[in-house]
């Protein structure tokens, strides 16, 4: 098994497959415009140096669910598995689970 080790501020993302949406017995395939890719961070580099020589660490962590534009990430295949590699600044957002409080 090979390990992917990103350099600098690069992030390795395992894409989450989007499937067809089903409403009752009607299946609606996803045939619309290209959407951003969503995936789980499997590895992140340590960071990068700013133009002034200051180290800036990465803020995403392994396990985070992120959204990246299709044009902002490079697809790579390692041992038959698809991954996306992009710079941290290309990540559009991190999706976090929130706890909902019971209304009392």
Using DSSP, state whether 77 is helix, strand or coil. strand
- CA 19/CA 25 separation, integer angstroms: 15
Asked if the structure places residue 60 within a domain, the reply is yes
Asked if the structure places residue 80 within a domain, the reply is yes
Please report, in angstroms and rounded to a whole number, the separation of the first and last CA atoms in the chain: 51
Question: What totals of helices (H) and strands (E) does the chain contain, helices first?
Answer: 0, 10
The number of beta carbons lying within 10 Å of the beta carbon of residue 10 is 19
The pLDDT of residue 30: 57
Q: How many domains does the chain have?
A: 1
Asked if the structure places residue 102 within a domain, the reply is no
Asked if the structure places residue 41 within a domain, the reply is yes
CATH classification of the domain holding 70: 2.30.33.40
Predicted TM-score (pTM) of the model is: 0.77
Asked if the structure places residue 4 within a domain, the reply is no
Which of 13, 11, 18 is closest to 34 using CA atoms?
Answer: 18
Average pLDDT across the chain, whole number: 84
C-alpha angle 97-18-93 in degrees, rounded to nearest 5: 45
* Percentage of the chain modeled with pLDDT above 90: 62
In terms of residue numbers, what domain contains 86? 10-18+34-95
Asked if the structure places residue 38 within a domain, the reply is yes
Asked if the structure places residue 101 within a domain, the reply is no
Asked if the structure places residue 89 within a domain, the reply is yes
Taking residues 27-48, report their average pLDDT: 78
């Amino acid at each position: 098994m090979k390990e992917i080790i990103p350099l600098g501020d690069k992030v390795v993302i395992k894409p989450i497959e989007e499937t067809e949406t089903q409403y009752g017995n009607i299946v609606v395939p996803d045939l619309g415009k290209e959407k951003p890719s969503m995936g789980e961070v499997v590895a992140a580099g340590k960071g990068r140096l700013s133009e002034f020589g200051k180290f800036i660490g990465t803020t995403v962590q392994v396990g985070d669910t992120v959204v990246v534009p299709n044009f902002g990430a490079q697809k790579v295949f390692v041992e038959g598995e698809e991954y996306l590699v992009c710079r941290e600044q290309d990540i559009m957002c991190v999706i976090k689970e929130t706890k909902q409080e019971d209304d009392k």
